[in-house]
Amino acid sequence: MSTFGSTAVVFDLDGTLVDSEPNYYEASRALLGDRTGRDYTWADNEQYVGISSHETLALWKREYGIEASVPELLADLDRRYLALARAATPVYPEMRKLVERLHDEGVPMAVASGSSRAAIAAILAGTGLDAQLTTFVSAEEVPRGKPAPDVFLAAAGLLGAAPADCVVFEDAAPGAAAARAAGMRCVAIPYVAAHADDAAFASAELLVRGGQQEFTAQAALDVLASGR
């Protein structure tokens, strides 16, 4: 048996495994600018970190009276995002190290993300993470996005793992809340530093307050091996 026993790991993608948020920001800014003429700042964007693309676009459609359907908007956002993402999406080095170590140990792993399935597949392939992460589920495939637990429970189902055996890696408060609702442990690495005190992070097994700059693969491995 692995050092990590029956533990399975579920990774959020954006802001957790890869630094994709700048690309999503640029894609969102361009989409809103073209369709509504509105400005869209980085501070505006931070409100939507951790919320699925589908839910964000549904909100914008209602709020700004955009005529296009949500599926049309999602296709538009994906087109803009993937053009940027294929050019440059950095993987956090310590996260890549962690994924490779867990893969070598035979730990079951999945990605559960609020991005579209097409975007997840493209990012995993473009970064080479698809060599270790072959199982993934998008929030568009389940009834509710984060903070509901649906996407994490779907990932556990694909892995054949009990929720209590799963550890979620998340950068956003809605994802941490979803992990708790799913009955899973959580390692939290806040993407937005100001969100580190969010109540959703309070029950995390490990809270890396300084985000990816402070995160180490070894610290995460210690938590996973401890079974705390």
Residue 58 tokens read as: 């549904």
Burial 98-124 (b: 16+ CB within 10 A, else e): bbebbeeeebbbbbbbbbbebbbebbb
Of the residues 12, 14, 150, 165, which is catalytic? 12
Q: Is 12 a catalytic residue?
A: yes
Q: How many Cβ atoms from other residues are within 10 Å of residue 222's Cβ?
A: 12
Q: Fill in the amino acid letter for 161.
A: A
Q: Fill in the amino acid letter for 148.
A: A
C-alpha radius of gyration, the chain, whole number:
17
d(C-alpha 211, C-alpha 8), whole Å: 22
Report yes or no: 181 and 163 within 8 Å, Cβ to Cβ: no
Active-site residues, by number, are 12
